[in-house]
A and B are shown apart, each in its own frame.
Chain A
Amino acid sequence: MNRADRAGLFALGGAAFALRLATLIRYDEDIDALRFALAVDRFDVAALRPHAPFYPVYVASAKVVAALGASRDVALGIAGAAFGAALVVATALLAREVVGRRGTHVAGALALASPMLWLLSNKLTSDIAGAAFVTTALWLAARARRLEAEAASPPAVHRLRTAALITLGVGLGARLSIFPFALACVFVIARAEGGSRALVARVRDLSVGVVSWLVPLVIATSPALLVRVTIAQAEGHFTRWGGTAITVSSPIDRLYGLAWGAWASGLGGAWPDASALRWLGLPLLIALLFAGFRDVKRLARAHPELAIGSLAYLAWVLVGQNIASKPRHLLPLVPIAIVVLARGSERLTLRSKGFAVVALALTSQWFFDAAELARAHQEPSPAAAIVLHLGASSGPIPSVITADLARMIEEGAPLARVVEARSSDEVLATLDADPARAWLVTSEALTKETRAAIEARGRTVSVAFSTPRSRYIDALWSDLALVSISPKRPKGPAARTPR
């Protein structure tokens, strides 16, 4: 890599960092973001600050920024912007190894402008950190493959693979759900190096990265408590609330979530309720994808860490993550898709240099789309707006029934009286216990059946507060509302018929 290339990558990272900083958000978007913010103030496993698996590397990085004087939300935002910029540079570097020098430019530009990469850099969650670690590790592994193919010295190749696995080990501390990439890379690299001894050595290298955050985590908290909270949270994630194949079992919902998430959210593809600008980019995206996928078998053979890691991660997301309503779980696959698009651009420009305009036009369309979404993202989410609304209420202390927002309301509107109700029966029982009281209910706690049952009890249901926003900013809770439920109407005396 010459000096101009290095300067170009530095400028790319700087531009990405500046753009992400320009659209920082200053509110806790959902319960996960709130817990990360609380963890920056005080890391406490027992109080779920944050939730399992505790993300020590991500929280530590935000704590470093907070120690320099930033507020907790700004600290998380700056950490996210830095990881987001690193991800853009890592995507360009990965494309350089897989596609070539021209691919670096195309992939860098697309990664800079990608709506999903931009938005998730601004969210106060660990997704972008995990993706940055994965993409950096895949770049190192791909570089090792290329050097090996060029008959470079074995120690140089060995060192790159060691660095890739240590990076993945550290990355597990930022986001544990990237583990399929880590396992795939360990096995693929060990297989390339031959035998069980190599496997033991490569598991050790991954463990070096894991130990770097596991030891501080054990020092910071009680190991027994760590184990108990992790088991309780894991059980809940898989069987009650995590959006896994057990809790959202409809294959149609999961496949729709995958299709919409990958196409409309991950690749910024056209969809009826998305920005109309996307229809202009549709033929460009299809052209690049089609050209790129024609070469995907060769790329997969040349870079098995990339291919097997992606397939393993996709399988995990399909079964073990909330793919039905959280497309952000597809984030680690987006940089790889961008590399495929860069390969498509490369193939098209080999036919005619004029085709370079395809990638340029798609980058422009993504950029305008992403900038608009990032700007809209700066307004409080529906959940955060409800909490602000309750906190600013100057009337009588509101009584709120909620399924999932209790912690957010307790932190943001501590005067509100909050009752958690996780089922229709619990909602109705709370209302029946005090028929004369007016209630507010957050809409995720209400189903159509529950509403009908409430109205059948002589209560009136109406929307009290709502600030819906585009599901392309955040698919979950995009239409969350605060619903008002009137006291039960008293049964009046029977009307007398006048004589």
Chain B
Amino acid sequence: MSASRLWARVRTAVVLAGLGFVGVAACLDYAGEDYGQGCPDDATAVSDAGADAAVSASECDAGPSIPVGTGSGSGAATPP
């Protein structure tokens, strides 16, 4: 087998293995989703660090909230 053919097969194998890994990880993640596990027992807010939003037990049971923060693209600032 020529070096170029071998290199092409290596590339194919890398892509198949990589995408296969991602696919399996996603399937396992979706199948195993249970956000009740590991939630705090009380309703005390739990903050991981700094000014990150706190997560209450009720929020934890409902699954992690999806933060929707704006980028800095919401328009030019114009002082009054």
A302 within 8 A of B: no
- Name the contact of A404 in the complex, choosing from B26, B29, B72 (C-beta under 8 A): B72
- Rounded to whole Å, the gap between the CB of B72 and the closest CB of chain A is 4
Residue total for B at the interface (Cβ-Cβ under 8 A):
37
User: Do B11 and A240 touch (CB < 8 A)?
Assistant: no
Is the CB–CB distance between A227 and B72 below 8 Å? Answer: no
| Interchain CB contact under 8 A, A404 and B74 | yes
Q: Among residues 22 to 69 in chain B, which have CB atoms less than 8 Å away from a CB atom of chain A?
A: 22, 25-26, 29-30, 33, 48-53, 64, 66-69
Q: Are B26 and A241 touching (Cβ within 8 A)?
A: no
Cα–Cα, bound, A403→B70 (Å): 9
Docked pose: A343 CA to B23 CA in angstroms: 47
Q: Which residue of chain B is the closest to A451 with respect to CB atoms?
A: B80
Contact indicator A446/B75 (Cβ below 8 Å): no
Does chain A have a CB within 8 A of B1?
Answer: no
A214 touches B75 (CB 8 A): no
B77 within 8 A of A: yes
Known: A214-B18, A228-B66. A241 touches B80 (CB 8 A): no
CB-nearest residue of chain B to A321: B73
The distance in angstroms between the C-alpha atoms of A322 and B73, with both chains bound, is 7
| Contact present for A225 and B64 (CB under 8 Å) | yes
Complex contacts, B78 vs chain A, CB 8 Å: 443-444, 447, 479
A207 contacts which of B19, B21, B33, B72 (Cβ < 8 Å)?
B19
* Cβ B71 vs Cβ A205 within 8 A: no
The answer to the question of A389 belonging to the interface, with a C-beta cut-off of 8 Å to chain B, is no
Cβ of A51 under 8 Å from chain B? yes
Which of B15, B69, B71, B79 touches A204 (beta carbons < 8 Å)? B15
| Cβ–Cβ contact B26 & A224, under 8 A | yes
Contact yes or no, B14 A211, CB < 8 A: yes
Contact B26 A223 (CB under 8 A): yes
Complex Cα spacing A481 to B77, Å? 8
State the interface size on chain A (CB cutoff 8 A). Answer: 70
Do B70 and A404 touch (CB < 8 A)? yes
B51 pairs with A414, CB closer than 8 A: yes
Contact residues of B: prevailing secondary structure: loop
Q: Are the C-beta atoms of A480 and B71 separated by less than 8 Å?
A: no
Tell me how far the C-beta of B3 lies from the nearest C-beta in chain A, rounded to whole angstroms: 9
Q: Cβ of B64 and Cβ of A242 under 8 Å apart?
A: no
Q: Which residue of A lies closest to B70 (CB)?
A: A241
Known: A204-B12, A237-B71, A404-B72. A46 touches B64 (CB 8 A): yes
Instruction: Name the A residues within 8 Å of B19 (CB-CB).
Output: 207, 211
Contact: A461 with B12, CB < 8 Å?
A: no
Name the residue on B nearest A38 (C-beta).
B50
Q: How far is the CB of A430 from chain B (nearest CB, A)?
A: 17
Complex Cα distance A76/B24, Å?
33
Whether A252 sits at the interface, judged by CB under 8 Å, is: no
B14 touching A243 by the CB < 8 A rule?
no
Q: Which of B26, B49, B53, B80 has the most CB of A within 10 A?
A: B80
Is B22 in contact with A223, judged by CB distance below 8 angstroms? yes
Q: Is the CB of B77 within 8 A of A411?
A: no
Whether B68 pairs with A233 at a CB distance below 8 angstroms is: yes
Give every chain B residue within 8 A of A382 (Cβ-Cβ): 77
B80 contact set on A, CB distance < 8 A: 443, 446, 448, 451, 461, 463, 483
CB-CB < 8 A to A477: which residues of B? 72, 76-77
- B30-A224 in contact (CB<8A): yes
For the complex, give the distance between the alpha carbons of A46 and B60 in Å.
Answer: 13
Cβ B14 vs Cβ A47 within 8 A:
no
**Bound-complex Cα distance A227 to B29 (A):** 11
Whether a CB of chain B sits under 8 angstroms from the CB of A410 is yes
Please, what's the 1-or-0 string for A178-204, where 1 marks a CB less than 8 Å from any CB in chain B? 000000000000000000000001001
| A32, B15: Cβ atoms closer than 8 Å | no
Q: Which chain A positions have C-beta within 8 A of B73?
A: 237, 241-243, 322, 325-326, 476
Residue of B at shortest CB range from A52? Answer: B71
Which listed residue, B14, B29, B52, B68, touches A223 by the CB 8 Å rule?
Answer: B29
Q: Given A47-B52, A218-B22, A477-B77, is A31 in contact with B66 using a C-beta cutoff of 8 Å?
A: no
B8 contacts partner chain A, Cβ-Cβ < 8 Å:
yes
Tell me the complex Cα distance, A213–B69, Å: 24
Q: Is B8 within 8 A of A481, CB to CB?
A: no
CB of A30 within 8 Å of the partner chain: yes
26 A-B Cβ contacts within 8 A?
A: A31-B71, A46-B64, A51-B71, A204-B12, A211-B14, A215-B18, A218-B21, A218-B25, A222-B29, A223-B22, A223-B29, A224-B30, A233-B68, A240-B70, A241-B74, A243-B74, A326-B73, A410-B51, A448-B80, A476-B76, A479-B77, A479-B79, A480-B77, A480-B79, A481-B77, A481-B79
Interface residues of B (CB under 8 A from A): 4, 8, 11-12, 14-15, 18-19, 21-22, 25-26, 29-30, 33, 48-53, 64, 66-80
Q: A47-B67, A407-B51, A451-B80 are in contact. List 12 more A-B contacts (CB 8 A).
A: A30-B72, A32-B71, A51-B71, A162-B11, A208-B11, A208-B14, A223-B26, A382-B77, A403-B74, A442-B77, A444-B74, A444-B77
5 A-B pairs with least C-beta separation: A211-B18, A444-B77, A223-B26, A443-B79, A481-B79
